[in-house]
Every structure is written in structure tokens, then in C-alpha cells.
């Protein structure tokens, strides 16, 4: 499944996800949450994973971090982090990477920060690996990183608790904590969904600056097309557990190839130039992942579905450099 650009020498991905499938055991049966997912994060780039609720984007992030729920299992595929096969790593080996070389920022900082510990304490706690540093030195490092993410008076802030900060400040603190060890990969799972647009703009700007400063690669998970368009270099579109399209940001936004990507873009009210009361929607519902059909996963909702979509799994069709989509319509076009 190597993309053309990656075949070239010098391609140095931080993260490679190969043919990853994840299932959940539930009382009512097996849910095929992710099926044969491929994804690359080149070093220093920001890759966006876009999908609606239930598309499996959070499952993907948690699988990479080794934080999956107890009833989830990896059914096949590989996750390579800087060449290290994460699936074959021992729990201790994974702990060595996690929180240091790869870190994660969650959606809601109110629930990801400890409410009964001052943030300075939490930031000192997560530096437990640095045995050569004194508490005072760790505290100074914490204050430094808080300053880098734009928190005023960081020395004083260290003694405050998470409820004493506003939502935007809390998310800045969470990002600061994730950057403390200068990770190679930062996974951000909807980090701006709980914030107002004005704060969202500031957090996006912060992530962009931090990429420059730390050369951290970012896997940015979002359902907000506007945010992804602004921040990401490369976009992966997930639908019902499958990557239906992936490509450079301009390809996805200007030349979307998959009918789902096209429908998703058409639904965004911010993209409608003329005012209209009746807003576009995608007819139908997300498929039940307990019974995945043989053919195309988007067929029941696709306005352009035809005979092969029901019975034949659509192939990944390469369109442009690093742009591919999983759709029968595209093979048809090629042959014709």
C-alpha cells in the first residue's frame, strides 16, 4: 500500500499504520470498528484524521497510544513508531515511549487534568523519569513550558488548580504537559471541540507555532473541516472504520474524489456561499458495524452507487501524488 511519494528515498515517517483492524467485543456481538486502515505521519508534518462520530477516529488514536478499552483487540496489521513495532513491544517498552516520545492531548482538559492536584504538582509528577533533576529544576522546566504555550505568570500558575483556569487556559496547560518531553509525535484528539472559536483560533495558531519550534509531528483528529483545512498538510478521511480517501490538504478540499468526502464538504454550512434555509445533509445512517457488507461501506448512502458497489469491495485508486480514494467510480473513469 506504499504511496508513490513514500517510495522515494529519504522518506522518514514518525508513524506508519499498516492494514490495522480493530474489533470490539460487545454483549450483542463483534463490532468491526476499524478495518484495514493505512496511515502515515511524515516527520514534522501535521496529518488530520477527519470523520463523523463512530467513524473510529478515537479508536485509532487510542490503539496507537496503546490505551485501548478492555474489550477492544487489534485483529491485524502493524503500528510502527519511528521504525519501532508497537504491537511487539512489551508493556514496559511502550510505557517508555508513551508520554515521552509520543504524547496525547484529549478533547476535554477538565477531565484529563487531575482536579485535586495543583497543576505544578502534576507537571512535576509526569517528569518521574528524570531522576537526575531536582524538584526545583522540574518546577522550573514546568514553568518554562507553560510560558512557551502562552500562559502569563507561569510561576504563580503552578500552584493553582485546574478549576481555577478558563477552558482555553486548561487546554494550553494540557498541551504544555504533552510537550514537556519534546515528543516526536503528538496525537491531538479533538483538542478544540470544547472551546469557543476565538480560543480555537489561538490553540490552532499555538499548535502551528509549536510544530515549527519543536519539529513535533502531529496527528490531529477532528470532525471540524474548517480546523483541519487550516492546520493540516495531509488529510485522512475515515468513514465507518475505513479510510475512504487520503491526500494532501489541497487535493482533498479542491478535488475530493470520494462521494463521501464530497458530501461531507457539501454539508459544511461555512462553505455555502449563498444563504439558504434548507441545509444539505447526507441521507441515511451510518452502517451497523456488527454486520459489515461485502461491497462499499458508503453504498447505502451514496447518490452515485451502481451495481459493483453492492458486491465487490472497492479498490484504493491512486489519483495524484499521495492522493487516493476507495471508490468504484474512479476505476471506471480510468478504464473508460
Could you count the other beta carbons within 10 Å of the beta carbon of residue 68?
A: 17
What are the cell numbers at 167? 477552558
Q: Considering the rule CB under 8 A, would residue 114 count as an interface residue with another protein?
A: no
In whole angstroms, how close is the CB of 124 to another protein at the nearest point?
Answer: 26
Q: Considering the rule CB under 8 A, would residue 273 count as an interface residue with another protein?
A: no
Query: Binding another protein by CB under 8 A: which of 26, 111, 137, 205?
Result: 205
Q: CA-based Rg of the chain, rounded to a whole angstrom?
A: 21
Pairing of strands 185-189, 217-222: parallel
Q: Considering the rule CB under 8 A, would residue 227 count as an interface residue with another protein?
A: yes
Cα maximum dimension of the chain: 69
In whole angstroms, how close is the CB of 329 to another protein at the nearest point?
Answer: 20
Please, where are the H alpha helices in the chain?
4-7, 57-65, 91-97, 109-112, 119-125, 135-148, 154-157, 167-179, 197-214, 225-231, 249-254, 259-267, 307-311, 328-335
Q: Which one of the spans 5-13, 23-31, 35-43, 281-289 is the region binding another protein (CB under 8 A)?
A: 281-289
Q: Please say which residue, 1 or 272, places its beta carbon nearer to another protein.
A: 272
Contact between 183 and 103 under an 8 Å Cβ cutoff? The reply is yes
In whole angstroms, how close is the CB of 87 to another protein at the nearest point?
Answer: 31
Q: Please say which residue, 237 or 264, places its beta carbon nearer to another protein.
A: 264
Which sign does the torsion angle of CA 225, 98, 65, 112 carry? negative
Q: Considering the rule CB under 8 A, would residue 264 count as an interface residue with another protein?
A: yes
**Residue appearing with cell numbers 513495532:** 85
Q: Smallest Cα–Cα separation from 130: which of 99, 154, 159?
A: 99
Q: Which parts of 147-176 interact with another protein (CB under 8 A)?
A: 166-169
In whole angstroms, how close is the CB of 227 to another protein at the nearest point?
Answer: 5
Query: Binding another protein by CB under 8 A: which of 25, 95, 96, 250?
Result: 250
Question: In whole angstroms, what separates CA 89 from the centre of its chain?
Answer: 22
Query: Binding another protein by CB under 8 A: which of 88, 91, 278, 307?
Result: 278
Q: Considering the rule CB under 8 A, would residue 268 count as an interface residue with another protein?
A: yes
Q: Considering the rule CB under 8 A, would residue 218 count as an interface residue with another protein?
A: no
Q: Which parts of 285-304 interact with another protein (CB under 8 A)?
A: 285
Q: Considering the rule CB under 8 A, would residue 197 count as an interface residue with another protein?
A: yes
Q: Considering the rule CB under 8 A, would residue 249 count as an interface residue with another protein?
A: yes
For another protein (CB under 8 A), the number of binding residues is 44
Q: Please say which residue, 25 or 271, places its beta carbon nearer to another protein.
A: 271
Q: Considering the rule CB under 8 A, would residue 253 count as an interface residue with another protein?
A: yes
Q: Please say which residue, 132 or 281, places its beta carbon nearer to another protein.
A: 281
Contact between 213 and 25 under an 8 Å Cβ cutoff? The reply is no
Which residues have CB under 8 Å from 72's CB, separation 6+?
A: 22, 23, 24, 25, 33, 59, 62, 63
β-partners of residue 24 are 31, 72
Q: Considering the rule CB under 8 A, would residue 189 count as an interface residue with another protein?
A: no
Query: Binding another protein by CB under 8 A: which of 45, 224, 293, 331?
Result: 224
Query: Binding another protein by CB under 8 A: which of 53, 90, 132, 212?
Result: 53
| Distance from C-alpha of 54 to C-alpha of 63, rounded to nearest angstrom | 15
Binding site for another protein (CB under 8 A): 52-53, 166-169, 193, 196-202, 205, 223-227, 229-230, 249-250, 253-254, 263-265, 267-272, 275-282, 285
Amino acid at each position: 500500500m506504499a504511496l508513490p511519494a513514500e517510495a522515494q528515498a529519504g522518506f522518514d515517517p514518525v508513524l506508519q499504520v499498516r492494514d490495522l483492524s480493530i474489533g470490539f467485543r460487545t454483549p450483542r456481538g463483534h463490532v468491526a470498528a476499524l478495518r484495514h486502515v493505512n496511515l502515515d505521519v511524515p516527520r514534522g508534518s501535521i496529518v488530520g484524521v477527519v470523520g463523523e462520530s463512530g467513524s473510529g477516529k478515537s479508536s485509532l488514536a487510542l490503539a496507537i497510544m496503546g490505551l485501548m478499552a478492555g474489550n477492544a483487540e487489534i485483529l491485524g496489521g502493524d503500528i510502527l513508531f519511528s521504525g519501532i513495532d508497537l504491537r511487539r513491544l512489551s508493556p514496559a517498552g511502550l510505557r517508555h515511549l508513551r508520554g515521552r516520545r509520543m504524547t496525547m492531548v484529549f478533547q476535554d482538559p477538565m477531565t484529563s487534568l487531575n482536579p485535586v492536584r495543583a497543576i505544578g504538582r502534576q507537571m512535576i509528577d509526569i517528569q518521574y523519569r528524570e531522576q537526575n533533576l531536582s524538584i526545583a529544576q522540574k518546577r522550573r522546566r514546568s514553568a518554562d513550558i507553560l510560558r512557551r504555550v502562552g500562559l502569563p505568570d507561569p510561576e504563580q500558575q503552578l500552584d493553582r488548580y485546574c478549576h481555577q483556569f478558563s477552558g482555553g487556559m486548561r487546554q494550553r496547560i494540557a498541551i504544555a504537559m504533552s510537550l514537556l518531553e519534546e515528543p516526536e509525535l503528538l496525537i491531538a484528539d479533538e483538542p478544540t471541540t470544547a472551546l469557543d472559536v476565538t480560543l480555537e483560533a489561538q490553540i490552532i495558531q499555538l499548535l502551528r507555532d509549536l510544530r515549527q519550534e519543536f519539529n513535533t509531528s502531529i496527528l490531529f483528529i477532528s470532525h471540524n473541516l474548517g480546523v483541519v483545512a487550516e492546520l493540516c498538510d495531509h488529510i485522512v478521511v475515515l468513514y465507518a472504520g475505513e479510510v475512504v480517501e487520503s491526500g494532501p490538504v489541497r487535493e482533498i478540499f479542491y478535488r475530493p474524489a470520494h462521494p463521501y468526502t464530497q458530501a461531507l464538504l457539501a454539508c459544511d454550512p461555512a462553505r455555502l456561499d449563498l444563504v439558504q434555509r434548507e441545509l444539505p445533509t447526507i441521507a441515511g445512517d451510518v452502517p451497523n458495524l456488527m454486520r459489515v457488507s461485502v461491497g462499499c461501506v458508503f453504498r447505502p448512502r451514496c447518490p452515485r452507487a451502481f451495481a459493483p458497489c453492492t458486491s465487490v469491495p472497492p479498490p484504493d485508486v491512486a489519483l495524484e501524488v499521495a492522493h487516493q480514494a476507495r471508490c468504484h467510480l474512479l476505476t471506471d473513469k480510468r478504464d473508460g
